Chain A
Amino acid sequence: MSNLIELDNVGKFYGNIIALKGVTTTVNAGEVTCVLGDNGAGKSTLIKILSGVHDHSEGTYVFEDEECAFTSPRQALDRGIAAVYQDLAMVPLMSVWRNFFLGAEPTIGRWPIRWVNKAKAKSIAKEEMAKMGIDIRDTEQPVGTLSGGERQSVAIARAVYFGAKVLILDEPTSALGVKQSGVVLRYIVEARNRGLGVIFITHNPSHAYPVGDRFLILNRGHSMGNFAKEDISLSELTQLMAGGAELEQLQHELEQAVSGGA
């Protein structure tokens, strides 16, 4: 099979505002494609196109050899494209297993007497979390009591269990500490090893570089290039992402300020 997702020159306009232009990249099964960019670079717009929140304005979006233009997240989800958003889409006061199966609870019995198969739901939730390499002590505990990294893992495990082929992660490490970020990065690798295509959106190149197979760099709505891992180093990536010359200028100014102050 060829690529899972192929984007060719995809762009998005909101009226006269060009939010995104000329994005070309691929996502393969069992590979991590990182989308890097500073604030306002167009990352969110790209996710919205990929996950079906918005349609794209130009270019082609090919999923499993079939050109598509989703108009709702549900359509994308049905095809196997699942997005895990920054705000996690979790209900904090609800238990882990209820969150895991929310909207797709396994049931016993026939309507009107039909109830949730709690034992099954709990054991599956625990099992799936274990496959992601995390052991949930008690699936009855509210999601709100989990750490940020663990919550991410619940969301990822849920997407994987419900048959996602492509997993879009929107800034999963941005709100986390160093150790927690490491945990999440491990889940990303775990999902990749299980044959999913992962799109990892971040503004932190040092998080992206160790796990990524392919890097798409955005700046001010434009694609700065699409690289395979062997073609680029971490420092080049950082340079490109921040707009190269600008970062050098900033570094220069900072050095002056520091020496001037001392």
Chain B
Amino acid sequence: MTDVAAHPDADDGQPDERLAYRGVFTRMLVRPEIGAVIGSAAIWLFFWAVSEQFGTAGGLSGVLDVSATLGIMAVAVALLMIGGEFDLSSGAATGALGIVTILLVKDIGELGGAGLSLFIAIPLSFVVAMALGWYNGTVVERTGLPSFIVTLATFFVLRGFKLGFSKLTIDNISVGRIDEGHGFDFWHPIFAGVWVRNEHVWDTRDVVYTIGILLGLALFVLAIYEGNYLRKKEMNPAGLLMFIAGVAGTVFGVVLMHYTSGVSNDIISGLVIAASMILGFIGVALWRYEPIAGDNSIHLDSRVLELAGLGIVVIVIGVVCALVVDVDGQQTILDRLPVVVEWLITVATLALTGAIAWRRSGGGTSGSEQRMALFQAGRAGLVGAISMLAFMFMTTEQGLRAILFVGLSTTGLILLAMAALRARKSSPLSGSLILALNSLVIAALALFIQAESGHPKFRTEIFTVMMFGAALVLAWALVSSHYQQRKAADHDADRLSTLLSVAGLVAVLVGLISRLLWTTTTENESGVAFASFRMSILWFIAVTAVATFVLGRTKFGSWIFAVGGNKEAARQVGVPAAKTKTQLFMIVSGAAWLVGLLLAFRLQTLQSGTGNGLEFEYIIAAVVGGTALTGGYGSVLGAAIGAFIMAMSKQGIGLALWNSDWRFAFLGVILLGAVMANNFIKAKAEAVR
């Protein structure tokens, strides 16, 4: 094999000269579900901040409950979509299969129903489900029509059947009751068991939670270090000692914060945490990484100063807003403001957005260009004004305060980060300088929140996390300007980096789960924690796990990607394309059967409209999770997280005491935002490949 010899770097782990080095983290971004993961964290934080109940075990059990039925379907629909098809009958099928089961067990005496035992009815309705999926798949394959049309027809047929059969057999559009069936006591715990955790009080829960989150973040940072910086030839033990001291100090600080109260004590423990963190991170850097040689100049151009200045101004405005607006106001803004002011604000928004659009388009020179620019300006103004009205209509004063403060301070921090990125281009040290400014601002914001906030969770948890963040950014600033970045792969370091990020993830999960499964005395006293977990959550987890395995590790999984990506190619190499697609339709209807039973056993009586219209929510969840509408790309885990995001939005709006009529508007925004973010990340990731 002389040709192999011509490529000496083929197998010895050396980098390929055609391939730029790609860090562990860039490679992680290639995963389709990454957008959903980031999005769900952001939305969780958002609702956690604005709602009293959302972050408690009770609130989360509700979110999980909603995401379970949605998620089981979303997972199946994602598989089908990766296989390149749609199923618009999936929503109606959930209700239909539940109704079929109930009708099968209903007593003959009461106008129809077969009067079967549940032990027969449940397998029988499963057979019906398989037949339904087989029908959809076969018709799509045989006729070659788009699945969109075929399953739309099935959707209408099912809708008709549900109504027609219900009326025909029991003369009622609500079909019940499954609990009269024989064997109900056996099946009920399987499909609708409830696990109440209200008595499980664990008062140190918040310590575990906070430490879990902080530890997780710290491990992520260490993973980034390990994945990005060049290792020293000989490790420096002094650094290790510093690191250990830092860790000990941080733990001490967190415990101190939890067991003391009062502003001054909190400040002391906060400072202890921050100092220890910085010590720890610098210790690690000293211990393991190769220092940089050379360039120590500081150069800040006007654009950097502009960005940084603007960032600080925006944050100050946010702080002022938080001070000015009423803390406890529950009236909506529209109710509070005089009509004249409302209209002034609306017209001002219209004028402002219109003017911005006009300026951006440059006005145009010729007549037609000017008309076009005018039209665009008018359109932008109208959208701005309507959004402003809607915003004023649905936001309470308290909400406004939170939104203004969070929005403005986040914007300011982003501007500062942009300034840091830009400064970094001229020299590492100037970047670090701006980063240090960033860190100071975060710390200041943390102190402000602690002093001003009305709720203990902000005073302790947010404060801790933000202090931690400030320390992190400062440590980052110090390390990034003094140590050398790695330019080539290092298998040991990459493995360690991956291990550290997995450990970080586990720590975060332990924190979240402890929060989910235990309540504290304070929560019980204020009556916000009613945590009851339903069996459907376990089904959801099981379905997601099995589907992930099937898609990622089995023949069938490969075939799903293949038939969705290039059906002809798949067929040419011997993949049974038609069979694969039909099986996918059967998986969807099987999931619909499961969800139908979960609903039937939960509610005992199903309305004939149950599930109608939900098919689009399944598709949205899959798409939010990174599944391509065109097929051939996507992830099951992403779809599950997508369902979680949708459930959070649905529940969160209710728990935040907003008018729940607006949740569809929220969903629409999330859908668009998520897809745009996914595309952006995918493009970035493909560019680095």
Contacts and interface: CB of A to CB of B under 8 A. Distances in A.
Interface residues of A, number: 35
B558 interface: yes
B575 A102 contact: yes
Interface string B535-564: 000000000000001000111011101100
Q: Which of A73, A87, A94, A104 lies at the interface centre, i.e. has the most chain B CB atoms within 10 A of its CB?
A: A94
A131 interface: yes
B1 A102 contact: no
A116 B569 contact: no
Interface in A75-105: 77, 85, 87-94, 98, 101-105
A92 B689 contact: no
B4 interface: yes
A107 interface: yes
Nearest to A100: B573
A120 interface: no
Given A105-B558, A107-B555, A135-B16, A145 B686 contact: yes
B553 A118 contact: yes
Contacts of B9: 135
A28 B9 CA distance: 35
B18 interface: yes
Given A91-B561, A98-B561, A102-B562, A133 B1 contact: yes
A124 to B, nearest CB: 14
B633 A103 contact: no
A137 interface: yes
A131 B565 contact: no
B357 to A, nearest CB: 37
8 contacts: A89-B568, A91-B561, A91-B570, A92-B565, A93-B561, A101-B558, A131-B4, A135-B10
Given A94-B562, A102-B573, A133-B3, 12 more contacts: A89-B566, A91-B562, A91-B565, A102-B562, A103-B559, A103-B573, A114-B554, A116-B558, A130-B11, A132-B3, A133-B6, A186-B3
A135 B7 CA distance: 7
A93 B633 contact: yes
Given A102-B558, A133-B3, A92 B11 contact: no
Contacts of B565: 91-94
B16 A73 contact: no
A91 B632 contact: yes
Sorted nearest first, the 3 A-B pairs with minimum C-beta distance are A133-B3, A91-B565, A135-B10
Contacts of B3: 132-133, 186, 190
Contact of B553 (A104, A116, A190): A116
A122 to B, nearest CB: 13
B262 interface: no
A13 interface: no
Contacts of A104: 573-574
A115 interface: yes
B41 interface: no
A180 interface: no
A209 to B, nearest CB: 22
A132 B573 CA distance: 20
Contacts of A87: 568-569
Given A74-B574, A77-B574, A91 B566 contact: yes
Contacts of B324: none
Contact of B569 (A88, A107, A186): A88
A101 B11 CA distance: 21
Nearest to A129: B10
A24 interface: no
A137 B562 contact: no
A98 B563 CA distance: 13
B19 interface: yes
B575 A137 contact: no
Contacts of A91: 561-562, 565-566, 569-570, 632
A141 interface: yes
A145 B686 CA distance: 8
Interface in A109-147: 114-116, 118, 126, 130-133, 135, 137, 141, 145
A115 B553 contact: yes
A102 B564 CA distance: 13
Nearest to A51: B572
Contacts of A186: 3
Nearest to B576: A103
Nearest to A107: B555
Nearest to B565: A91
Nearest to A104: B574
Contacts of A133: 1, 3-4, 6-7
Contacts of B553: 115-116, 118
A81 to B, nearest CB: 13
Given A90-B566, A115-B554, A131 B1 contact: yes
A103 to B, nearest CB: 4
A102 B171 CA distance: 53
Contact of B558 (A77, A94, A114): A94
A130 B4 contact: yes
Contacts of A141: 689
B356 to A, nearest CB: 39
B656 to A, nearest CB: 39
Interface in B566-591: 566, 568-570, 572-575
Contacts of A137: 16, 18-19
Nearest to B3: A133
Contacts of B4: 130-131, 133, 135
B504 to A, nearest CB: 23
Contacts of B686: 145
A104 B555 CA distance: 8
B464 to A, nearest CB: 39
A141 B686 CA distance: 10
Given A133-B1, A135-B10, A135-B16, A89 B574 contact: no
Contacts of A102: 558-559, 562, 569-570, 573, 575
Contact of B570 (A73, A103, A132, A135): A103
A96 to B, nearest CB: 12
Nearest to B569: A89
Q: Which of B1, B572, B575, B689 lies at the interface centre, i.e. has the most chain A CB atoms within 10 A of its CB?
A: B572
Q: Which of B549, B565, B568, B573 lies at the interface centre, i.e. has the most chain A CB atoms within 10 A of its CB?
A: B573
Interface string B621-653: 000000000001100000000000000000000
A85 B566 CA distance: 14
B561 A94 contact: yes
A158 B559 CA distance: 17
B568 to A, nearest CB: 7
B324 to A, nearest CB: 52
A77 B574 CA distance: 10
Nearest to A118: B553
A102 B563 CA distance: 11
Contacts of B632: 91-94
A88 B1 CA distance: 26
Contacts of A98: 558, 561-562
Q: Which of A77, A85, A91, A98 lies at the interface centre, i.e. has the most chain B CB atoms within 10 A of its CB?
A: A91
A98 B554 CA distance: 11
Q: Which of B3, B557, B575 lies at the interface centre, i.e. has the most chain A CB atoms within 10 A of its CB?
A: B3
A103 B10 contact: no
B79 to A, nearest CB: 15
Contacts of B574: 74, 77, 103-104
Contacts of B569: 87-91, 102
Contacts of B562: 91, 94, 98, 102-103
Interface in B20-75: none
B554 A92 contact: no
B557 to A, nearest CB: 8
Contacts of A94: 558, 561-562, 565, 632
A133 B6 CA distance: 8
A76 B461 CA distance: 68
Nearest to A190: B3
